[in-house]
Amino acid sequence: MKSQLSKLLHPLCGRTLLSWAVGAAEGVTPDKLVVVVGQQREQVEAHLDEIAPHTIKAVQDNPHGTGHAVRCAMSQLPQVSGEIVVTYGDVPLLTAATLRRLVTHHRQAGNAVTVMTAIVDDPSGYGRILRSETGVTGIVEHRDASPAELAIQEINSGIYVFDADVLRDGLAHLEPTNDQQELYLTDVLGYARAQGATVGAYVEADVWQTEGVNDRVQLATLAAEMNHRIVTGWMREGVTVIDPATTWVEAGVSIAPDVELWPGTILRGATSIASGARIGPDTRLTDCEVGEGAQVLRSEAVLSEIGPGASVGPFSYLRAGTRLGRAGKIGGFVETKNAQIAAGAKVPHLTYCGDATIGEGANIGAGTIFANYDGTNKHHSTVGARSFIGSSTVLVSPVTIGDDAFVAAGSTITGDVASGELAVARGRQRNIPNWVERFRRRATSSAGATVQDAERIAQDSADQMDKE
């Protein structure tokens, strides 16, 4: 991956590769679940403590092949008997249902070992399945295969079910007899055959479930396939997706029927969308709750609530703690943070609304700024129900605007405004008579007029008005 982050912790559709693998393994309800950790194990162990603290961790300090990895795992299971399922941490599309079918096939066939296989057009890089009339005779790695064996299209997925005793004995007899001097888990199958045990195969038709991730190209390819499956699933549940190719929905998202997702929509985390909502185009929501019939257009929201019938956008940014009430509005080019905007309230245009409570039915005029930061601390302001804040107003927090109050456009409010009051906090307008004529007369003089002349004329006129 060429990354400081462990490959197993790279995200794919809202979950890490390891999370997908552990989820599939848990689907067979194992008595014990062992994860073999090695490179960057501190990262992996910390992540396991978050997502699956019940797992047993087996350390593989110096990797010597798949057989060595399973030996490390079995060292944590000294008394175990029954069936052992072995899978990988980088096969994100593998499902619990497929693992259950594998185990069922293993039991019904009475096998000592069952390997999951797939038929692929290009088997390059994969181990090939060797068969006879009596079943699987072995697996040969690509680098060790003969030309005839390289032509085989049935490949080893690396996913198995073993009888525990057969696995334990087979691991004890492994020898590094290959060019890489590694212990191959595949050699256990040959050992089992030599002992007269039955080795079989379960052919998985969905080849994607056997695909692993070794670099970022494969990560992107499998992410696209996983997203396709997630989006297709939601469409089958009654969600309209205008352009599935440009719509990304992570695994933890919940969407009700009759939602419309427009091109360029990205739904992340624990986002939930209620029936009748319209999202997009060009919108990203992370850990958000969107109510029935709400609309979000060309905007981004994080850890926010958008009430039923509310509207957001275009080109707005709802930061954490934003709560927009029923039929409320956050219009174009608005940024909110830790803002509670009640039902029917409007923040229509070009506004920063941070650390604020806005009452029901209030209107915040275009260009209003909630100046919530004094350079050291953040402060909260309140605008009462049905109040009106004029355009280009600065509310210097903390201030409280009462219910049914008005603030004149262009004001800078530094003190509270009581209910029913009009607040005006701006310089008084002065209109200077004859200023243009006097300025033009000066401009046509031989010396011409300068900016200083214009300012002097304006000041002289203002002084004359004061005297009058």
SS3 (DSSP) at 292: coil
Alpha helices in 75-137 (DSSP H): 96-109
103 Rama sector, left if φ>0, alpha if ψ -120 to 50, beta otherwise: alpha
Nearest to 364 by CA among 385, 384, 390: 390
Query: 250 is written with which tokens?
Result: 């992570």
The H or E element spanning position 150 is helix 147-150
- Spatial contact of 355 and 322, defined as CB atoms under 8 Å apart: no
Q: Return the half-sphere exposure (C-beta side, CA atoms, 13 A cut-off) of residue 289.
A: 9
Q: From the candidates 47, 349, 379, 380, which is the catalytic residue?
A: 349
Cis amide linkage into residue 263, ω under 30° from 0: no
Q: Is 349 one of the annotated active-site residues of the chain? A: yes
Q: Which amino acid is at 5?
A: L
Secondary structure element (H or E) that encloses residue 200, with its range: strand 199-203
Q: What are the residues whose beta carbons fall under 8 Å from the beta carbon of 8, sequence distance 6 or more?
A: 16, 17, 18, 21, 44, 47, 89, 90
On whether the CB atoms of residues 284 and 266 are closer than 8 A, the answer is yes
CA 431 to CA 435: how far, in whole Å?
9
What beta strand segments (E) does 190-263 contain?
Answer: 199-203, 240-241, 248-249, 254-255, 260-261
Amino acid occupying residue 284: R
User: For the chain, percent helix, then strand, then coil, each to nearest 5?
Assistant: 25, 30, 45
Reported as half-sphere exposure (CB side, CA atoms, 13 A), residue 368 has a value of 29
Q: Which two tokens stand for residue 172?
A: 């004890």
Residues whose CB is less than 8 angstroms from the CB of residue 71 and which lie 6 or more positions away in sequence, other chains included: 171, 174, 183
Tell me which DSSP letter residue 429 carries. P
Which residues are tagged catalytic? 349
